[in-house]
A and B are shown apart, each in its own frame.
Chain A
Amino acid sequence: MFAALSSPNIHTPRNMQEYSSIILHYPSSSFWAGGTYIMSRPDAYPSNSLNQEIIYLGGIEELHRFQRNDRFAEFGSMVTLDEIISTGKTVLPKVLIDNIENIGSRLITRRATIGGALASKDVITSFPGTLIVLDANVEVKFIKKKRLHSKWMQLTRLLDRNGHLVLPAQGMISRVRIAFTDKNYQNFSSVGSFMTKGDDAVAVAFATTLNQDLLLNPTIAFTYPKLGILYSRDVDNVLSSLRFPLDDKEYKSLEMILFTFIDSTFQNISELQRARTKGILRNIIDDLNEKALTVPQSEGS
């Protein structure tokens, strides 16, 4: 039907050397990881906007590697979400596993890659928010003075003011490092479908250590598909100043403060998203209240 359309050139590098020579020859190429984002766009095919040069990263063996030690797990950017679950379900943080299991059927997680989830132009999954909460580091490979350089950086440093992850020009995420966290309270909640009804969906990732009535090192990220990710150290500081359990008045004031941050970052979140965010927040606070009021078994017996 669309036979007259010109076919994009697909470059399939086998290693990083081949990749660097291709990217030097075709600096404006697009990257293709799992393809779940590109193929699910309405203009995926036939497309006049799609780049004529595509670099398919699936052939680079280095990007499929997974390794771990006592402190962290390191994933190549082409490791699929399904592989993450199958290789590290017992050791990886609960919030990450909950997030992947929440994304959807294995038919999708089998194709979606960790690098693709981070490097897509739009926020299409809740995954980046969770990795930010886990203080993940990424290795970014980029071209500078006609040479391929690489640099490890915190994922939060890639987050711009509008809540989008921004890579350097022609930068590519090659590895993601996730530290094993000892935080004793981790919560991932998502309402609505990121894939089919992005305008109404919201996801919240939260991790902290609940020590008696205090939260130590709390980190929270709100993800609104199509809008972006809200992560702020100021929000974390607000949470760490709380003493649990919270009464209704304290909860209302916390909710108001959080929505001031959310509204200042995203001006147009829908009413449904707002209500859903409130619901998730209420659940988290109720859960923390309950835990703060529960006497640990060793003390109670």
Chain B
Amino acid sequence: MTRYIIRRLLQAIPTLLGISLLGFTLIKVAPGDYVLMSTFDPSITAEVRDELRQQLGHDQPIPIQYVEWLTGVSLRGGDVVDAMAPMSKNCHSFGSLGFTFCDRGGGLLRWDLGYSLATKEPVWDMLRSRMPASFELGVVVLVLTFLFGVPLGFLGALFRGSAKDQGIRLLSVAGQAVPNFWMGLICIFVFSVLLGWLPVGGRMTISLDMKFSLVDRIRHLILPSFVLSLGGVAFLTKLVRTQVLEVIAQDYLRTARAKGLGSLALWTRHVLRNAMLPLATVLGPAIVGVISGALVIETIFAWPGVGRLTWFSALQRDYPMIMGAVMFYSALTILGYLISDILYAAIDPRIRL
């Protein structure tokens, strides 16, 4: 198992490098750029834009910019030590070879995601500062999803064809069909504006002399977590119901029943365990979702999570921030699937890693 995990983690390195190259190229060839977006102001002249591009190195070919982002090393043609020195730690001109080499510091290979162009803050600090909010909402949503999705799926299968099953299936379809932005707005209107029971949005009640209050945090969590978990609950209910129905139709279950195995043991040892296998596939990526945020719900409920940060960075063409988010999500996804595989092996002894 340990060897398997180490092997998978080592395999992740070239994967991540490939993703970084692809991601960097894609965002660079996309129309619009950071300098245009941040200076979309008629009072700013073309010369200022050109100077800014030069300072940021955005006037260089994409491969040079990629190397700079990856290694923190700038390469320029000719002897431009004087021009580069203010922005770099060390600059050397290799006159005979006709280029200048400068160490700007940072770079992914030095475990540094760089600085946001818009905020001038370290990318990792910006991601980290949004994670608690995303994590808080994500964990509650994950718990709610499994807490309701699994039992409802079981109930549906247990009472297959009954009114209860029909009701659960209806809820499941509705939960998946209703767009969460619409449900979010309706919930705000009903529970916040009309009834006044819950706050409209945000993570906490904001005042000049704020103090932590668990009750207040929970009140702010109710609506976004409810709306965000609806789709997950519906999906999981359907998945578990189908899986359980499949399992209870198997021969080994009839055999177990014929052998006189008690109902509880039958359901927990045979049905539940076998029906859980596909859940392991879902759980890995779901854990990633806990940290990576949810753009729509974060927007509607003014939740300060990672999803909004990534979205706004993409709109602003804040390249280091976008690349930081891409690398972060990619690493998380790889980790998520690794967790899935490990869970698979833990649930099903036939699978050997």
Q: Do A and B bind each other?
A: no
Question: A-side interface residues toward B, CB under 8 Å?
Answer: none
